[in-house]
Amino acid sequence: MIRKTVLTLALILGSILVVCAGDLNGRWEGKMANPNGDDMTITFNFKVDGEKLTGAVEGPGGEMPLEDGKVKGDELSFVVKLGDNSITHKGKVSGDTIALQVSGPWGESEMTLKKVTGK
């Protein structure tokens, strides 16, 4: 009886995690300050397959693919290469918002992404 209950709970939890990850699919936008202090829009196109996250980032420098993308529950992480530099992204999804921490050669910064619908 206990074994059946534990298995049922594990299946429910697994389904919830897949649903959370599935919400990541699509286009997300956020703003980040450039070196001059002006805001620039950065667009993230995400595709989730199980716990694997793929896609690309579009910004003023063009499009760059995501590398080493992972999704686990409502958390995600990936790396983007910009020249010889690696920019690490770690975030948490909450509905149509992602709180993203970005680490690169300049140090650390935060940005908020919003899900784009209808584009």
How large is the average pLDDT for residues 55-68? 93
pLDDT digits (tens, 9 = 90+) for 13-53: 343 433 444 589 999 999 988 777 888 899 999 999 999 99
What pLDDT is recorded for position 43?
96
How much is the mean pLDDT over the chain?
Answer: 83
Fold for 2-115, please state it: Lipocalin (2.40.128)
User: Given a cut of 80, is residue 9 above it in pLDDT?
Assistant: no
What pLDDT is recorded for position 23?
85
Question: Which are the contacts of 57, defined by CB distance < 8 A and separation ≥ 6?
Answer: 42, 43, 44, 45, 63, 64, 66, 80
How large is the average pLDDT for residues 81-110? 93
CB-based contact 54:76 (threshold 8 Å): no
Domain assignments of the chain as residue spans, ordered by start: 2-115
pLDDT digits (tens, 9 = 90+) for 89-101: 999 999 999 999 9
What pLDDT is recorded for position 2?
61
How large is the average pLDDT for residues 89-117? 93
Share of residues in the chain with pLDDT > 90 (%): 61
